[in-house]
């Protein structure tokens, strides 16, 4: 392509990104009230279940009921719990990032009734840190080869990837709009801080496409009882986090008591769901997870239930669009999902221009989950506003400038939160 044509192309791409960003920031209703309607009491009666008065009652009685309700009404059931088989493990670079870390690629096969799920994980371990290492299990958006900026051609490339990942120009556009860390975690930053990282691409488990995902979700649900709500993609991606944890636990270099999950946007929803269902998760970071993540469904700001279920029907239980015509028709809200993670630490990231994910609604949900943390004699949310970050509580939120995406500030806050809770322990 001639240089002048290339410059024109980049100008049009840049203008498209700017216009898309403007309309994205304006999609939330600017005049909507910030105060949500009354929420279901986190400790009060739920259906026929009596109010909860102790941590034992929460764990033994209320938590299973809520998990079942979230499966039925929102996410669908997760596939069967089957430990993955590590079929290959190879060193990609023994002195990556200027000698800071070792990169390995693992191939994980999870047997199912009539098939198997195969996905690949990159495992990055700092070279000069003492084992067992705390580990961050983080999803990536474009596959493992793209996560390493294409520097290692031998790293597996996924069979399917979203449009934003298919060409260098599309990846550049995604990074320009959503931040330099949108494609992958900052491995060198985490290695310097002493954390191992396992990253995988959830699109290898279920394609993030309403048409292509149908057959995959059917195969993942084949083992389920006919009365069980079939898995949506969010449930399947949460299941992927748990299968990654299985692999982490089998490696003595990695500390199974200090496993953190990290996810952004749709994968932030999946990370919260995985932590709510898998007690091996010691800490979770959900960055700008939005509707059916950390943000209250009952709020009148940000993405609506109708908008998210219309655009992404494959994310949810098939029953959700039928059951929820209005917000008030859903007897659950996301403070109950957050409460299912108690008493483990949670960090919720937000951005001032990202009204679509409604960080104020996430803060309100975190605040409403506090009484469950109190049952465990834990502080819950210690701060007085979304932007007055206080890591002394087990739930914290932060707000940075800018819009939806992953930027260095998000990871600096993550590492500070990890240090506070993992180093103290």
For the stretch 363-410, pLDDT in tens is 999 999 999 999 999 999 999 999 999 999 999 999 999 999 999 999
Choose among 306, 308, 275, 278: nearest CA to 290: 308
With vertex at residue 39, the alpha carbon angle to CA 37 and CA 40, rounded to the nearest 5 degrees, is 150
Q: If phi over 0 gives left and psi between -120 and 50 gives alpha, with beta otherwise, what is residue 143?
A: left
CB 196 within 8 Å of CB 125: yes
With vertex at residue 57, the alpha carbon angle to CA 52 and CA 58, rounded to the nearest 5 degrees, is 75
CB 362 within 8 Å of CB 348: yes
CA distance 364 to 49: 24
Residue 38, pLDDT > 80, answer: no
Cis peptide upstream of residue 343 (ω within 30 degrees of 0):
yes
pLDDT band at 13, cuts 50/70/90? Answer: low
Q: If phi over 0 gives left and psi between -120 and 50 gives alpha, with beta otherwise, what is residue 423?
A: alpha
pLDDT in the model for residue 32: 41
For the stretch 142-183, pLDDT in tens is: 999 999 998 999 999 999 999 889 888 899 888 888 998 999
Calculate mean pLDDT across residues 325-337.
Answer: 81
pLDDT band at 324, cuts 50/70/90? Answer: low
Return the SS3 of 127.
Answer: coil
Calculate mean pLDDT across residues 114-123.
Answer: 92
Domains of the chain: 46-424 (3.40.50.1820)
Distance of CA 243 to the CA centre of its chain: 15
pLDDT band at 112, cuts 50/70/90? Answer: confident
Choose among 15, 231, 202, 197: nearest CA to 108: 202
DSSP state of 393: S
For the stretch 245-267, pLDDT in tens is: 999 999 999 999 999 999 999 99
CB 269 within 8 Å of CB 289: yes
Run of H or E residues at 347: strand 346-351
- Give the tokens for residue 92: 């990609």
pLDDT in the model for residue 168: 87
pLDDT in the model for residue 425: 53
Beta-carbon contacts of residue 36 (< 8 Å; ≥ 6 apart): 296, 298, 299, 300, 361, 364
For the stretch 302-318, pLDDT in tens is: 898 888 999 999 999 98
Name which residue leads in pLDDT, 12 or 239: 239
Average pLDDT value over all residues in the chain = 90
CA distance 268 to 301: 19
CB 254 within 8 Å of CB 337: no
């Amino acid at each position: 392509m001639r240089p002048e044509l290339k410059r024109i192309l980049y100008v049009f791409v840049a203008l498209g990104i700017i216009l898309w960003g403007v309309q994205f920031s304006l999609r939330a209703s600017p005049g909507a009230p910030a105060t949500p309607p009354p929420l279901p009491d986190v400790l009060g009666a739920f259906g026929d279940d009596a109010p909860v008065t102790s941590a034992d009652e929460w764990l033994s009685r209320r938590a299973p009921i809520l998990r079942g309700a979230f499966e039925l009404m929102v996410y669908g059931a997760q596939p069967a719990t089957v430990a993955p088989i590590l079929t290959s493990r190879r060193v990609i670079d023994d002195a990556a990032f200027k000698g800071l870390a070792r990169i390995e690629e693992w191939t994980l096969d999870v047997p199912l009734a009539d098939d198997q799920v195969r996905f690949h994980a990159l495992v990055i371990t700092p070279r000069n840190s003492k084992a067992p290492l705390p580990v961050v299990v983080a999803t990536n958006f474009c596959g493992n080869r793209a996560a390493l900026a294409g520097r290692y051609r031998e790293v597996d490339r996924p069979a399917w990837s979203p449009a934003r990942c298919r060409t260098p120009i599309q990846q550049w556009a995604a990074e320009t709009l959503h931040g330099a860390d949108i494609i992958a975690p900052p491995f060198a930053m985490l290695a310097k801080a002493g954390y191992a990282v396992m990253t995988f691409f959830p699109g290898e488990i279920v394609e993030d496409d309403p048409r292509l995902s149908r057959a995959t979700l059917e195969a993942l649900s084949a083992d389920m009882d006919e009365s069980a709500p079939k898995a949506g993609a969010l449930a399947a991606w949460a299941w992927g986090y748990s299968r990654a944890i299985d692999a982490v636990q089998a490696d003595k270099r990695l500390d199974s008591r200090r496993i953190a999950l990290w996810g952004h946007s749709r994968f932030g929803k999946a990370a919260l769901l995985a932590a709510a269902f898998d007690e091996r998760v010691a800490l979770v970071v959900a960055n700008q997870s939005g509707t059916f993540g950390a943000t209250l469904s009952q709020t009148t700001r940000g993405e609506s239930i109708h908008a998210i279920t219309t655009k992404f029907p494959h994310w949810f239980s098939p029953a959700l669009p039928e059951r929820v015509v209005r917000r008030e028709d859903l007897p659950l809200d996301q403070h109950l999902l957050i409460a299912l993670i108690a008493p483990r630490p949670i960090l919720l990231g937000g951005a001032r221009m990202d009204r679509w994910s409604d960080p104020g609604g996430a803060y309100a949900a975190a605040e409403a989950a506090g009484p469950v943390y109190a049952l465990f004699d834990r502080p819950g949310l210690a701060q007085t506003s979304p932007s007055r970050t206080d890591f002394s509580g087990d739930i914290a939120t932060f707000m940075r400038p800018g819009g939806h995406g992953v930027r260095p500030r998000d990871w600096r806050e993550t590492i500070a939160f990890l240090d506070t809770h993992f180093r103290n322990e």
